[in-house]
Amino acid sequence: MSVSFFYLNKYKPFQQTTPVKKWIEQTVAAEKKQAGAINIIFCSDDYLLNINKQSLNHDYYTDIITFDYCSGKIISGDLFISTDRVKENALKFAVPVKKEFQRVVIHGVLHLLGYKDSNDKQQKIMRKKEDEYLQFWAKC
């Protein structure tokens, strides 16, 4: 497994990355898959908006964009996360910033694991899985 962290701005949501790596590994293993190369890239709203426009033809801000490079049971991909959007959403939803970063990271991992959130039914399943795997965090 290779989880790597990249910071395109100065904000580092996780001071220690080892627990995050362990958490992702446990989540992937619980889904009966293997973790490959997973890159978590923290960036600004504007940077992610540009990716959203160029790659997905969407002209709106988002907290995460996941690029899936999975092959069979090997889970690999890039998670681009807007630190600006996550901090703003934490305020909006009245949750601790660290908790919102955890939710967004696991959301991206769940996309790599094959979960979708395009409709209400899928969103409900995704939220349930997020909550389930957020409980793993306490064990890391």
Confidence of residue 39 (pLDDT cuts 50, 70, 90): very high
Per-residue confidence at 21, pLDDT binned at 50, 70, 90? very high
Position 136 scores a pLDDT of 79
The pLDDT value given to residue 139: 63
Task: Catalogue all structural domains in the chain, each as residue range(s) with its CATH number.
Answer: 2-137 (3.40.390.30)
Place of tokens 């009245």: 94
Strands of 2-7's sheet, edge to edge? 2-7, 34-43, 74-82, 64-68
pTM of the model: 0.94
Q: Which residues of 47-58 are buried (b: 16+ CB within 10 A; e: fewer)?
A: bbbebbeeeeee
Q: What is the pLDDT of residues 41-99, one digit of tens each?
A: 999 999 999 999 999 999 999 999 999 999 999 999 999 999 999 999 999 999 999 99
